[in-house]
Amino acid sequence: MTIQRAAVIGAGVMGSGIAAHIANAGVPVLLLDIVPKDAPEAGRSVIAEGAIARLLKTDPAPLMHRRNAGLITPGNTEDDLEKLAECDWIVEAVLENPKIKQDLYKKIQKHRKKGSIVSSNTSTLPIAVLTKGLPETFAKDFLVTHFFNPPRYMRLLEIVAGPKTGKAAVETIRAFCDERLGKGVVDAKDTPGFIANRLGVFWIEAAVSAAVEGGLTVEEADAVMGRPMGIPKTGVFGLLDLVGLDLSRYVSREMTAALPKDDAYHEVRTDLPLFEKLIDEGYTGRKGKGGFYRLDRTDGKREKQAIDLSTGAYAPARRPRLDSVTAAGRDLRRLAEYPDKTGAYAWRVLSQLLVYAASLIPEIADDIAAADEAMRLGYAWKEGPFQLADRLGADWLVTRLEEEGREVPDLLRKAAEAGGFYGVENGVLQYLTVEGEYADLERRDGVLLLEDVKRASEPVRRNGSASLWDLGDGVLCLEFHSKMNALDQESLKMVEDSVKLVPKAHKGLVIYNEGTNFSVGANIGLALFAANVALWPMIEELVATGQRVYKALKYAPFPVVGAPSGMALGGACEILMHCDAIQAHAETYTGLVEVGVGVIPGWGGCKELLTRWATAPRAPKGPMPPVAKAFETIGTAQVAKSAAEAQEMMILRAGDGITMNRDRLLADAKARALALADGYAPPEEVGLHLPGETGRAAIEMAVRDFELKGLVTPHDRVVVEELKQVLTGGATDFVDEVGEDDLLMLERKAFMKLIRHPGTLARVEHMLETGKPLRN
């Protein structure tokens, strides 16, 4: 069975978020909730209707495109349950109350069609409780699908099957959630908290209690628990503020009630009076007045403050400079050994977590790989607990635990004897089984990861900023790997090398990497350095090289597929626009953002965006519409917040592809390159008819309107003048045809003029210092 229509019952934050993400997959979804007491006839579905309205206002957006809201139909559980007969998958996301859920299931059973699948988003209730008293036919089609909030952005989905759940139901949901929703699907056991919350909530409780007992400030605790361990910089107290102190206490109480009396969770959990005091006073975290951190806006200021864990008083938050963190760098063992309170804190929390995790396999999951994946995808850790154990060294970990007289789980001893929880055999990643033997870590069909290619082979070519890898079947992969994958001379050199190497023995090229971001664009720090010492020829050569290399890529005698994920800004967006096709991860955030630092796109971005709008089949025709569209996009530094939005902006074209699951992106891009290779011919150059002075006059009218509203700064005006000149074709008029080289020359001249301007240098310097644009 395939999922062609779905329903979500429960239109709260989680339920509406699930509905939104199903709509993101292009699947119509029915969103139901109760009828409010005393609701008028016309307002019986007001809860679901209000939820959909909020989806369109929420930031970050649950919807990948606003039009996806049209796929969500609101309704209520009194008038619309018969519509469940049209649905293949019904998701329950109501209150964590067994009676409420069971009563709802009985109603669902009356209306659902035979073979439809029902799942619960519960995070605490066992399947035996949920399905008690329900017929076998219901239990056969029932499972738990535990999404993490927000459903669009958190990749983890834990699937829990009951003893009566049919295999077909599990496989149908697994395939749909993997391929259509982009989830990392992990099989969990039917135990309290499943995998991620069982481990994550334990870690939070251990970290909080250790911080209090160790006399650490919240800033110190977060500095240790965050980036040094590959955990988001929120650390533990920042995470509690993000999740909500009230929700975290609710989950803590549920775990306390559900777990066996001898579970180690009870040893680390602490009832802090400060927690209850904060919640009672409305300090529930970011959604309230603040939490462990707050933003003080007294007298018009904006001061971040942190709470004192012992007194409950707020004071200005400080960024601690910890000797332990500085000395350790990326050496986790050195951090845990550091002889001060922060080193002791790191060891205490890590050792408790790793011992706990090792004691829970196979109780909560079949293997360590599932547990690590759950923590990476559900809590955004770079490494799961068993990977962290390998960073410490399993043998060292066992030795220190024994020296302290602490219990060592059997699985941890087996890892110490084997040499770690993970290993590599013949280029294949392996994990330690509960029997103490290594097994290959098998990827799902349709998954190709560059990390596996790199583990099993050597690069075809490599420099400090980029590498070429052989993906097999005649396709090479160009990987950027500088800091934040910023583009510099070496990046461009590898693009140029690719153009020369691929035709010799290969069919196509994919541009892809597995960094957090595809690329943040050109290395503006390098540009600022060159500008500060007046190395103008160096900057001009970099611009000219980028133009030459990108054009060579566009007209290479083989297909090129760009495969971005995360941010692809400025020069990175420009390289994508010179590819034959783009196969983008759904969470691609891209745009020509150069005006934010006071310049314009200089590597062909203006030219390519004009060409896209001028040649798009359904776009308005004539000299002016492409110019207007390009000016709007570039002049306001628009950034698409999804691949779907990028398609609307014409960065992706109608024929470009979108992959929902990040792990499937490289395989999809490779397949696209091979499909294009059969009978491939490079594109023909397109000349453009541009409006010249007439077009500049039309743009000027719009700009003056913005100026009158105070929306154009003095340096914006400087940039606008150059952008107008480029987009309208310089001295041309609409009778003349402007070629690519003409537009590239205009781009280059405008860029060099702007990069010399003091206003641009001020913007670049401000961006490098603060990460934010300067409005000068």
Residue 470 three-state SS? strand
- Which one of 158, 337, 479, 574 is the catalytic residue? 574
Name residues whose C-beta falls within 8 Å of residue 677's C-beta, 6 or more positions apart in sequence.
Answer: 474, 507, 508, 558, 559
The residues pairing with 27 across neighbouring beta strands, listed in sequence order, are none
Burial of 114 (0-12, 13-18, 19+ CB in 10 A): exposed
Task: Give residue-wise pLDDT tens across range 102-132.
Answer: 999 999 999 999 999 999 999 889 999 999 9
Percent of the chain with pLDDT over 70: 99
Identity of residue 172: T
What pLDDT score does 256 carry?
94
Judged against a pLDDT cut of 90, whether residue 38 lies above it is answered with no
pTM of the model: 0.95
% of the chain exceeding 90 in pLDDT: 90
pLDDT over 90 at 533, yes or no: no
Each residue of 165-216: pLDDT tens digit? 999 999 999 999 999 999 999 999 999 999 999 999 999 999 999 999 999 9
The two tokens of residue 281 are 């006073």
Does the pLDDT at position 585 exceed 70? yes
Classify residue 500 by burial, with Cβ atoms within 10 Å: 0-12, 13-18, 19+.
Answer: exposed
Q: Is 684 a catalytic residue?
A: no
Whole-angstrom Cα distance, residue 586 to residue 259?
38
pLDDT at residue 35, rounded to an integer: 96
Question: Tokens 């017929």 — which residue?
Answer: 135
Please, are residues 121 and 19 in contact by the beta-carbon 8 Å criterion? no
Cβ contacts of residue 771 below 8 Å, gap of 6+? none
Predicted pLDDT of residue 775:
85
Buried b (16+ CB within 10 A) or exposed e, 670-681: bbbbbebbeeee
Average pLDDT over residues 72-83: 97
Q: What SS3 class is residue 273? A: helix
pLDDT band at 737 (very low <50, low <70, confident <90, very high): confident
**pLDDT score at 695:** 93
Q: Which pLDDT band, with edges at 50, 70 and 90, does 77 fall under?
A: very high
Element (H, E) at 702: helix 692-708
Choosing from 158, 219, 587, 594, the catalytic residue is: 594
- What is the distance of C-alpha 475 from the center of its chain? 27
User: Is the pLDDT at 681 greater than 80, yes or no?
Assistant: yes
Mean pLDDT of 83-107: 96
Q: Is the pLDDT of residue 736 over 90?
A: no
From residue 26, give the alpha-carbon distance in Å to each of 367, 660, 662: 34, 11, 18
Q: Residue 42: pLDDT band by 50, 70, 90 thresholds?
A: confident
- In the β-sheet with 508-511, what is the strand arrangement from edge to edge? 461-462, 466-472, 475-480, 508-511, 560-562, 581-585, 657-659
pLDDT at 735: 54
- H/E segment holding residue 667: helix 665-677
Residue 734: pLDDT band with limits 50, 70, 90: low
- Give the pLDDT confidence of 365-411 residue by residue, as tens digits: 999 999 999 999 999 999 999 999 999 999 999 999 999 999 999 99
In 3D space, the residue among 558, 470, 452, 574 whose CA is nearest the CA of residue 519 turns out to be 574
Tens-place pLDDT, residues 324-363: 999 999 999 999 999 999 999 999 999 999 999 999 999 9
Six token digits for residue 264: 């180690």
Write down the pLDDT at residue 124.
85
Q: Is 594 a catalytic residue?
A: yes
